[in-house]
Amino acid sequence: MRAVLLADTRAAVVEHARRMVADGLVVGTSGNVSCRDGDLVAVTPSGTDYAAMRPADVVVVDLEGRVVDGGLRPTVELPLHLAAYRHHQAGAVVHTHSAAATALSLLRDDVPAVHYQIAMFGGSVAVAPYATYGSEELRDHVSAALTGRTAVLMKHHGTLTTGDGLASAYDRARQLEWLCDVWLRARAVGEPALLEAEEIERVTRRFAGYGQQPGT
C-alpha cells in the first residue's frame, strides 16, 4: 500500500480546521488552514464540511500552487497562503472569518493597542484594503500588510495569521480575535485607552525571550 504523502501534517490541518468551528472562528465551510512541510504545503480543500473532512481530503500543493496529491480542489484562498510561505517565512497559516475581527475591520485601519498582547504579532496589526476573495489583488494587499508582522485583518473579510507551525498560527488567530473583541466591547461604552507605541516595542522585545527557552 502506498504511504500517504504528509499524513501527519494533513491530519493536523484537519484537526485545526475543526477547532476553528468549535472556537467560533468560522461558520460553515468558511476560512482555511495550511501547513508547510519542506517545499510542499498541505491545505484545506474548497467548500468541504470540516466535520466530514478526512486527512486524505487535504490537498498537497507545491510552492507554485500545483497540486501534488489529493483529489479535491484546494481553497480559493490558496494565493494568500502561498504568499505567506514564499515571502514571509511562514510555517503555517490560519485564515478565519471571526466576527469581532471582521467587525473591527469595518471601523479602523489597524487593531488598536488595547492590550500588550498585540506585541505577539510584532506590533500593530494592519487592516488590508478590501479586494475580491481569491484574487491577486487581495493577495498583494495582504502580503504588503504582513510585512514584519504575523497577522493581518482583511477589510469586510476576516483574518490571516502565520506561525512557525499550526499551534502558533492558531494561537495567534484566537488571540487576535480576543483583542478585537476587547476593543469592540470598550468602544461600545466609551473611547478606549490605548498603550503607547514605546510600551508595545518594550513588550515585543520581552516576548522574544518569553516562555521556556532551549537550555533553560
Average pLDDT over residues 155-167: 98
Pick the catalytic residue from 15, 64, 77, 198. 77
Task: For residue 201, indicate whether it is catalytic.
Answer: no
What number of residues does the chain have? 216
**Per-residue confidence (pLDDT) for residue 2, from 0 to 100:** 56
3 state SS of 63: coil
**Per-residue confidence (pLDDT) for residue 212, from 0 to 100:** 43
Return the HEC string of 175-191.
Answer: HHHHHHHHHHHHHCCCC
Do 40 and 66 form a contact (C-beta atoms < 8 A)?
no
Give the pLDDT confidence of 118-160 residue by residue, as tens digits: 999 999 999 999 999 999 999 999 999 999 999 999 999 999 9
Residue 40 cell numbers, joined: 510542499
- Scanning the structure block, which residue is given the C-alpha cell 483583542? 179
Residue 30 cell numbers, joined: 468558511
3 state SS of 159: strand
Considering only CA atoms, which of 135, 132, 131, 168 is closest in space to residue 150? 168
3 state SS of 160: strand
pLDDT interval class at 111 (50, 70, 90) = very high
Residue 177 cell numbers, joined: 480575535
Quick one: which H or E segment has residue 94?
A: strand 92-96
pLDDT at 83 over 90: yes
**Per-residue confidence (pLDDT) for residue 1, from 0 to 100:** 46
Q: How far apart are the first and last CA of the chain?
A: 44
Separation of alpha carbons 126 and 108, rounded Å: 9
Average pLDDT over residues 166-189: 98
pLDDT at 80 over 70: yes
Q: Which CATH architecture has domain 7-207?
A: 3-Layer(aba) Sandwich (3.40)
Give the pLDDT confidence of 9-68 residue by residue, as tens digits: 999 999 999 999 999 999 999 999 999 999 999 999 999 999 999 999 999 999 999 999
3 state SS of 75: coil
**Per-residue confidence (pLDDT) for residue 27, from 0 to 100:** 95
**Per-residue confidence (pLDDT) for residue 208, from 0 to 100:** 78
**Per-residue confidence (pLDDT) for residue 180, from 0 to 100:** 98
Is 181 exposed, middle or buried, given 0-12, 13-18 or 19+ CB atoms closer than 10 A? middle
**Per-residue confidence (pLDDT) for residue 216, from 0 to 100:** 38
pLDDT at 210 over 80: no
Separation of alpha carbons 85 and 99, rounded Å: 26
pLDDT at 117 over 70: yes
Locate the domains of the chain by residue range.
7-207
